[in-house]
Amino acid sequence: MVDPRPSIITKRLEGVKNIVAVSSGKGGVGKSLVATTLALALARKSYSVGLFDIDFTSPSTHVILGARDVCPREEKGLIPPVVSGLTYMSIVYYSGELAAPLRGAETSNALIELLAVTQWGDLDYLVIDMPPGIGDAMLDLIRLIGRAKFLIVTTSSKLAFETVKKQVRLLKDIKVPVLGIVENMKIAGSDAIKDQTKTLGLNFLAGIPYDPNLESAIGHPDKLLTTTLGKASKIVASSDTFSC
């Protein structure tokens, strides 16, 4: 007759003031790094912050955070552990080192399950690391959490921004708020993405050049915040866009 789980999702998130979905129509643009670093930067500003990795088939935020030997506690649901100051939830607690080969309907089911049973408590921000694309995960998030606001990540490549433009137009059409665009791995000297972002009527939140020190900072949250990505994330976290 009816799946009971979606009915409780609003209640599970009632203590969360702001929900930010870090998304991109295109893969490989650095969503997980941007989501994790933004969450860390917000937490360093003394906000209470959660990070939810819903890229179920290729989760990576646990690697970025260097999260090891942690798992949720059972108490009237699942209470996520705190990792580097973030209330952190990932499917990797259950899949471990193994692949989770899920079709679209199964990713939806897993998302509904985790949204229904995770007890987030009181948070200023819940940052959601989305899988790439304009498919199941984005549509599910909009359906299940009506108040999520999207932060879109692109690279300087026309190939990435072509899809991002389509994604932004769709989100605008269906009246989903877009906080702005982050240009990651920015090509020096080009303002093309910044200019086009303004043409789309959106905030250009940051242009972040590739930092050769980034790879060695993965797994070390404090070091991550010293990279160009970390410094830009701190500026974004201090901007009016994130004034809680």
Partner 1 sequence: MHEWALAEAVVNAAVEFSDKEGLKKVKEVTVKVGELQDVDRKIFRFALSQLEPDKLKDATFHLVTVKAKLSCHVCGNSWLFRKDKYDEEVSEAMHFVPEMAHTYIKCPKCGSPDFEIAEGRGVWLESIKGVK
Q: Binding mask 4-23 vs partner 1 (x if CB under 8 A, - otherwise)? A: xx-xx--x------------
CB 49 within 8 A of CB 43: yes
Go through 31-68 and write b for each residue having 16 or more CB atoms within 10 A of its CB, e for each that does not. Answer: bbbbbbbbbbbbbbeebbbbbbbbbbbebbbbebbebe
Torsion sign (Cα): 159, 224, 212, 90: negative
Contact 88, 63 (CB under 8 A): no
Q: How far is the CB of 100 from partner 1 (least distance, A)?
A: 5
- CA distance between the termini of the chain: 40
State the nearest-atom distance from the C-beta of 48 to partner 1, in Å. Answer: 21
- Considering the complex, what minimum distance in angstroms separates the CB of residue 68 from partner 1? 17
Of 63, 104, 113, 192, which lies in the binding site for partner 1, with binding defined by CB under 8 A?
113
∠ Cα 197 181 16 (to 5°): 140
- 2 lies in the binding site for partner 1 (CB under 8 A): yes
Tell which positions 18-77 bind partner 1, by CB under 8 A: 56, 74-77
Residue closer to partner 1, measured from CB, 13 or 78: 78
Which among 59-67, 103-111, 132-140, 146-154 is the span making contact with partner 1, rule CB under 8 A? 103-111
Residue 107 within binding range of partner 1, rule CB under 8 A: yes
Quote the tokens at residue 171.
Answer: 């989100």
Which residue carries 């769709």 as its tokens?
Answer: 170
Q: Does 95 bind partner 1 (CB under 8 A)?
A: yes
Contact positions toward partner 1, by CB under 8 A? 1-5, 7-8, 11, 56, 74-78, 91, 93-95, 98-103, 106-107, 109-110, 113-114, 116-117, 119
